[in-house]
Structure 1
Amino acid sequence: MSTLEDVRAAVLELSSSFPRPGLLLSVSEPYDLHTSFASTYPNAGSAGVYVLLNEAGIVLRVGKASCGRTIGHRLGDYFRWGDKVLGKGVAKNDTFKDVRYIATIAVPKDRAFEAPAIEEFLLRRLESPLNSLGMSFHIRNSARVD
Protein backbone atom coordinates (compact mmCIF):
# COMPACT_ATOMS: atom_id res chain seq x y z
CA MET A 1 0.00 0.00 0.00
CA SER A 2 1.28 3.43 -0.93
CA THR A 3 1.45 6.40 1.45
CA LEU A 4 1.99 10.14 1.16
CA GLU A 5 5.71 9.53 1.70
CA ASP A 6 5.65 7.22 -1.34
CA VAL A 7 3.98 10.04 -3.31
CA ARG A 8 6.72 12.46 -2.26
CA ALA A 9 9.42 9.91 -3.20
CA ALA A 10 7.81 9.30 -6.61
CA VAL A 11 7.66 13.05 -7.31
CA LEU A 12 11.36 13.34 -6.45
CA GLU A 13 12.09 10.39 -8.75
CA LEU A 14 10.09 12.00 -11.56
CA SER A 15 11.91 15.31 -11.11
CA SER A 16 15.35 13.69 -11.16
CA SER A 17 14.71 11.10 -13.88
CA PHE A 18 12.71 13.37 -16.18
CA PRO A 19 13.69 16.97 -15.38
CA ARG A 20 11.24 19.64 -16.44
CA PRO A 21 13.15 22.90 -16.86
CA GLY A 22 11.53 25.72 -14.93
CA LEU A 23 9.03 23.43 -13.19
CA LEU A 24 9.52 22.70 -9.50
CA LEU A 25 7.10 20.01 -8.34
CA SER A 26 6.13 19.80 -4.70
CA VAL A 27 3.47 17.88 -2.83
CA SER A 28 1.20 19.93 -0.56
CA GLU A 29 0.65 19.15 3.07
CA PRO A 30 -2.37 16.88 3.55
CA TYR A 31 -5.72 18.64 3.66
CA ASP A 32 -8.20 17.12 6.13
CA LEU A 33 -11.73 16.87 4.73
CA HIS A 34 -13.14 16.51 8.24
CA THR A 35 -11.52 19.55 9.82
CA SER A 36 -10.57 21.88 6.95
CA PHE A 37 -13.51 21.76 4.54
CA ALA A 38 -14.47 25.35 5.33
CA SER A 39 -11.14 26.41 3.81
CA THR A 40 -9.94 26.11 0.23
CA TYR A 41 -8.26 22.96 -1.05
CA PRO A 42 -4.49 23.35 -1.47
CA ASN A 43 -3.71 24.63 -4.99
CA ALA A 44 -7.46 24.80 -5.72
CA GLY A 45 -7.04 27.41 -8.45
CA SER A 46 -4.29 25.55 -10.31
CA ALA A 47 -4.04 22.71 -12.76
CA GLY A 48 -2.15 19.69 -11.49
CA VAL A 49 -2.50 16.37 -9.74
CA TYR A 50 -4.40 15.38 -6.61
CA VAL A 51 -4.00 12.36 -4.36
CA LEU A 52 -6.85 11.04 -2.22
CA LEU A 53 -5.86 9.23 0.99
CA ASN A 54 -7.77 7.41 3.70
CA GLU A 55 -7.62 8.06 7.45
CA ALA A 56 -4.48 5.92 7.78
CA GLY A 57 -2.75 7.96 5.04
CA ILE A 58 -2.98 5.22 2.41
CA VAL A 59 -3.30 6.36 -1.22
CA LEU A 60 -6.74 5.54 -2.65
CA ARG A 61 -6.75 7.49 -5.91
CA VAL A 62 -4.52 9.68 -8.06
CA GLY A 63 -6.15 12.12 -10.47
CA LYS A 64 -5.41 15.16 -12.58
CA ALA A 65 -6.89 18.52 -13.35
CA SER A 66 -5.96 19.88 -16.77
CA CYS A 67 -7.61 21.05 -20.01
CA GLY A 68 -9.04 24.17 -18.39
CA ARG A 69 -10.06 22.46 -15.13
CA THR A 70 -8.55 23.27 -11.76
CA ILE A 71 -7.80 21.01 -8.84
CA GLY A 72 -10.65 22.70 -6.94
CA HIS A 73 -13.13 21.95 -9.74
CA ARG A 74 -12.08 18.30 -9.91
CA LEU A 75 -12.27 17.81 -6.15
CA GLY A 76 -15.68 19.51 -6.22
CA ASP A 77 -16.81 16.62 -8.43
CA TYR A 78 -16.10 14.24 -5.53
CA PHE A 79 -16.90 16.15 -2.32
CA ARG A 80 -19.58 18.46 -0.92
CA TRP A 81 -20.53 20.09 2.36
CA GLY A 82 -21.80 17.45 4.75
CA ASP A 83 -22.13 19.64 7.80
CA LYS A 84 -21.89 23.41 7.41
CA VAL A 85 -21.70 23.97 11.15
CA LEU A 86 -18.70 21.69 11.62
CA GLY A 87 -17.24 22.48 8.19
CA LYS A 88 -16.97 18.80 7.33
CA GLY A 89 -16.84 17.58 3.74
CA VAL A 90 -18.36 14.32 2.58
CA ALA A 91 -18.09 12.25 -0.57
CA LYS A 92 -20.79 12.72 -3.20
CA ASN A 93 -20.36 9.06 -4.15
CA ASP A 94 -19.85 6.05 -1.87
CA THR A 95 -16.74 5.13 -3.86
CA PHE A 96 -14.93 7.99 -2.11
CA LYS A 97 -16.47 7.64 1.37
CA ASP A 98 -13.15 6.50 2.90
CA VAL A 99 -11.22 9.58 1.72
CA ARG A 100 -10.04 11.69 4.64
CA TYR A 101 -7.02 13.57 3.27
CA ILE A 102 -6.09 15.24 -0.01
CA ALA A 103 -2.62 16.21 -1.22
CA THR A 104 -2.00 18.18 -4.41
CA ILE A 105 0.79 18.96 -6.86
CA ALA A 106 0.23 22.22 -8.72
CA VAL A 107 1.52 23.12 -12.16
CA PRO A 108 1.41 26.62 -13.68
CA LYS A 109 -1.51 27.36 -16.02
CA ASP A 110 0.80 27.49 -19.06
CA ARG A 111 2.17 24.03 -18.11
CA ALA A 112 -1.19 22.30 -17.48
CA PHE A 113 -0.20 19.78 -20.18
CA GLU A 114 2.28 18.36 -17.64
CA ALA A 115 -0.51 17.12 -15.32
CA PRO A 116 -1.40 13.96 -17.34
CA ALA A 117 2.27 12.91 -17.47
CA ILE A 118 2.71 13.44 -13.73
CA GLU A 119 -0.50 11.52 -13.02
CA GLU A 120 0.53 8.57 -15.19
CA PHE A 121 4.01 8.46 -13.65
CA LEU A 122 2.48 8.33 -10.17
CA LEU A 123 0.00 5.64 -11.22
CA ARG A 124 2.90 3.47 -12.36
CA ARG A 125 4.76 3.97 -9.07
CA LEU A 126 1.93 3.85 -6.54
CA GLU A 127 -0.78 1.43 -5.55
CA SER A 128 -4.08 3.29 -5.89
CA PRO A 129 -7.07 0.96 -5.55
CA LEU A 130 -9.63 3.47 -6.86
CA ASN A 131 -7.74 3.94 -10.15
CA SER A 132 -8.46 1.29 -12.77
CA LEU A 133 -5.23 2.16 -14.63
CA GLY A 134 -3.18 2.00 -11.44
CA MET A 135 -4.67 -1.31 -10.35
CA SER A 136 -4.36 -3.00 -13.75
CA PHE A 137 -0.72 -1.89 -14.03
CA HIS A 138 0.18 -3.31 -10.61
CA ILE A 139 -1.76 -6.53 -11.19
CA ARG A 140 -0.02 -7.07 -14.54
CA ASN A 141 3.41 -6.39 -13.10
CA SER A 142 2.98 -8.44 -9.92
CA ALA A 143 1.91 -11.43 -12.01
CA ARG A 144 4.86 -11.02 -14.40
CA VAL A 145 7.64 -13.59 -14.18
CA ASP A 146 10.97 -12.11 -15.27
Structure 2
Amino acid sequence: MNEVSFCFHPFRGGEAVTEYVHSFRRPDLPPIQAGAPLDLYPSRPESALFPRQLTWDDPWPYGDRAGVYLVYDEALNLLYIGKASMNRRLGQRLYEYFGGGEVCHPRLDWLRPARYIINVAMPAELPFEAPALEEFLIRRLQPKLNGVGL
Protein backbone atom coordinates (compact mmCIF):
# COMPACT_ATOMS: atom_id res chain seq x y z
CA MET A 1 0.00 0.00 0.00
CA ASN A 2 3.04 2.27 0.33
CA GLU A 3 2.34 4.43 -2.73
CA VAL A 4 1.80 8.00 -3.80
CA SER A 5 -1.62 8.68 -5.24
CA PHE A 6 -1.22 11.21 -8.08
CA CYS A 7 -4.33 12.99 -9.38
CA PHE A 8 -2.52 13.72 -12.68
CA HIS A 9 0.75 13.02 -14.44
CA PRO A 10 3.77 13.08 -12.11
CA PHE A 11 5.14 16.61 -11.65
CA ARG A 12 8.66 17.95 -11.27
CA GLY A 13 9.23 16.85 -7.73
CA GLY A 14 6.84 13.92 -7.95
CA GLU A 15 9.71 11.50 -8.46
CA ALA A 16 11.26 12.78 -5.22
CA VAL A 17 7.96 12.23 -3.36
CA THR A 18 7.90 8.68 -4.71
CA GLU A 19 11.54 8.21 -3.64
CA TYR A 20 10.67 9.41 -0.12
CA VAL A 21 7.74 6.98 0.07
CA HIS A 22 9.78 3.98 -1.07
CA SER A 23 12.84 4.84 1.02
CA PHE A 24 11.38 6.03 4.33
CA ARG A 25 7.76 4.90 4.77
CA ARG A 26 6.56 1.53 6.01
CA PRO A 27 4.49 -0.33 3.42
CA ASP A 28 1.46 -0.62 5.72
CA LEU A 29 0.93 3.15 6.00
CA PRO A 30 -1.92 4.87 4.13
CA PRO A 31 -0.82 6.62 0.91
CA ILE A 32 0.39 10.16 0.51
CA GLN A 33 -1.83 11.98 -2.01
CA ALA A 34 -0.70 14.59 -4.53
CA GLY A 35 -3.32 16.97 -5.93
CA ALA A 36 -3.57 18.35 -9.42
CA PRO A 37 -1.70 21.59 -10.17
CA LEU A 38 -3.70 24.68 -9.26
CA ASP A 39 -3.25 27.69 -11.56
CA LEU A 40 -3.20 30.87 -9.49
CA TYR A 41 -3.92 33.07 -12.51
CA PRO A 42 -6.51 31.44 -14.78
CA SER A 43 -6.91 34.64 -16.80
CA ARG A 44 -3.36 34.21 -18.16
CA PRO A 45 -2.77 31.92 -21.17
CA GLU A 46 -2.69 28.24 -20.32
CA SER A 47 0.68 26.50 -20.26
CA ALA A 48 1.19 23.58 -22.65
CA LEU A 49 3.43 22.06 -19.97
CA PHE A 50 0.73 22.02 -17.28
CA PRO A 51 -2.71 21.53 -18.78
CA ARG A 52 -5.14 23.51 -16.68
CA GLN A 53 -7.09 21.25 -14.33
CA LEU A 54 -7.69 23.46 -11.31
CA THR A 55 -7.71 27.24 -11.01
CA TRP A 56 -7.87 29.91 -8.36
CA ASP A 57 -11.66 29.52 -8.47
CA ASP A 58 -11.38 25.93 -7.16
CA PRO A 59 -10.77 24.97 -3.53
CA TRP A 60 -7.17 24.18 -2.57
CA PRO A 61 -6.62 20.45 -3.22
CA TYR A 62 -6.55 18.65 0.14
CA GLY A 63 -6.94 22.03 1.80
CA ASP A 64 -8.28 20.45 4.96
CA ARG A 65 -5.21 18.25 5.48
CA ALA A 66 -1.65 18.63 6.70
CA GLY A 67 0.98 18.31 4.01
CA VAL A 68 3.55 19.91 1.77
CA TYR A 69 3.01 22.44 -1.01
CA LEU A 70 5.25 23.05 -4.00
CA VAL A 71 5.23 26.47 -5.66
CA TYR A 72 6.19 26.78 -9.35
CA ASP A 73 6.66 29.73 -11.68
CA GLU A 74 5.26 30.17 -15.19
CA ALA A 75 8.02 28.01 -16.74
CA LEU A 76 7.47 25.27 -14.12
CA ASN A 77 10.65 26.06 -12.23
CA LEU A 78 10.27 24.97 -8.62
CA LEU A 79 10.46 28.10 -6.48
CA TYR A 80 9.55 27.03 -2.98
CA ILE A 81 8.51 24.08 -0.83
CA GLY A 82 6.58 24.66 2.38
CA LYS A 83 4.50 22.70 4.83
CA ALA A 84 1.37 22.81 6.90
CA SER A 85 1.48 20.37 9.79
CA MET A 86 -0.04 19.52 13.14
CA ASN A 87 -2.66 22.23 13.80
CA ARG A 88 -2.21 23.83 10.37
CA ARG A 89 -3.88 22.82 7.13
CA LEU A 90 -2.75 23.32 3.53
CA GLY A 91 -5.67 25.62 2.68
CA GLN A 92 -5.07 27.77 5.75
CA ARG A 93 -1.34 28.09 5.03
CA LEU A 94 -1.83 28.94 1.36
CA TYR A 95 -4.53 31.49 2.23
CA GLU A 96 -1.92 33.23 4.40
CA TYR A 97 0.38 33.49 1.37
CA PHE A 98 -2.07 34.20 -1.45
CA GLY A 99 -5.22 35.59 0.17
CA GLY A 100 -8.74 34.81 -0.85
CA GLY A 101 -11.39 36.40 -2.97
CA GLU A 102 -11.91 36.64 -6.68
CA VAL A 103 -8.24 37.00 -7.70
CA CYS A 104 -4.91 35.86 -6.29
CA HIS A 105 -2.96 38.49 -4.34
CA PRO A 106 0.44 37.21 -3.15
CA ARG A 107 1.06 38.78 0.23
CA LEU A 108 4.86 38.60 0.02
CA ASP A 109 7.03 40.03 -2.75
CA TRP A 110 9.04 36.82 -3.17
CA LEU A 111 5.81 35.01 -4.11
CA ARG A 112 5.03 37.27 -7.07
CA PRO A 113 6.61 34.89 -9.66
CA ALA A 114 4.40 32.00 -8.42
CA ARG A 115 1.95 30.56 -10.95
CA TYR A 116 1.16 26.97 -9.90
CA ILE A 117 0.71 25.17 -6.59
CA ILE A 118 0.75 21.42 -6.02
CA ASN A 119 -0.35 20.09 -2.65
CA VAL A 120 0.92 16.78 -1.31
CA ALA A 121 -1.34 15.64 1.52
CA MET A 122 -0.39 13.46 4.44
CA PRO A 123 -2.81 10.78 5.61
CA ALA A 124 -5.24 12.37 8.08
CA GLU A 125 -3.83 10.32 10.96
CA LEU A 126 -0.19 11.24 10.18
CA PRO A 127 0.03 15.07 10.03
CA PHE A 128 3.40 14.96 11.80
CA GLU A 129 4.95 13.35 8.71
CA ALA A 130 4.76 16.64 6.74
CA PRO A 131 7.97 18.15 8.21
CA ALA A 132 9.98 15.04 7.26
CA LEU A 133 8.71 15.13 3.67
CA GLU A 134 9.30 18.88 3.42
CA GLU A 135 12.91 18.61 4.59
CA PHE A 136 13.59 15.65 2.30
CA LEU A 137 12.17 17.49 -0.74
CA ILE A 138 14.06 20.71 0.00
CA ARG A 139 17.35 18.86 0.30
CA ARG A 140 16.67 16.73 -2.77
CA LEU A 141 15.20 19.40 -5.09
CA GLN A 142 16.86 22.59 -3.76
CA PRO A 143 14.20 25.12 -4.77
CA LYS A 144 15.66 28.57 -5.24
CA LEU A 145 13.60 30.32 -2.55
CA ASN A 146 14.26 27.81 0.26
CA GLY A 147 17.41 28.45 2.26
CA VAL A 148 17.64 25.02 3.91
CA GLY A 149 19.81 22.50 2.15
CA LEU A 150 21.37 24.89 -0.37
Name the TM-score, length of structure 1 as normaliser: 0.81
Identity %: 37
2:105 equivalent in structure 1: 90
Structure 2 contact 32–123 (Cα < 8 Å) conserved: no
| 1:80 aligned onto 2:87 | no
The root-mean-square deviation of aligned C-alpha atoms, in Å, is 1.5
Amino acid at match of 2:30: L
- Which of 55, 61, 76 aligns to 1:42? It is 61
Given that 1:46 and 1:70 are in contact with CA atoms closer than 8 Å, whether structure 2 keeps it comes out as: yes
Report the structure, 1 or 2, having the larger helix content: 1
Q: How far apart in 2 are the matches of 1:109 and 1:12?
A: 19
Matched, 1:19 2:19: no
Shift of 1:130: 1.2
Q: Does 1:8 align with 2:14?
A: yes
- 1:90 shift after superposition: 2.2
Relative contact order: is structure 1 or structure 2 higher (C-alpha 8 Å, sep ≥ 6)?
1
1:126 aligns with 2:141: yes
Q: CA deviation at 1:132?
A: 1.2
Q: Which runs of 5+ in 1 are unaligned?
A: 139-146
Q: Deviations over 1:3-25 (max 9, x none)?
A: x7331100111111112332312
Q: String of CA shifts for 1:50-85, please: whole Å, max 9, x gaps.
A: 00110111110001101210000110111024xx5x
Structure 1 residues 11 and 34, CA gap change in structure 2 (3 angstroms): same
Alpha-carbon contact 1:46-1:107 (below 8 Å) kept: yes
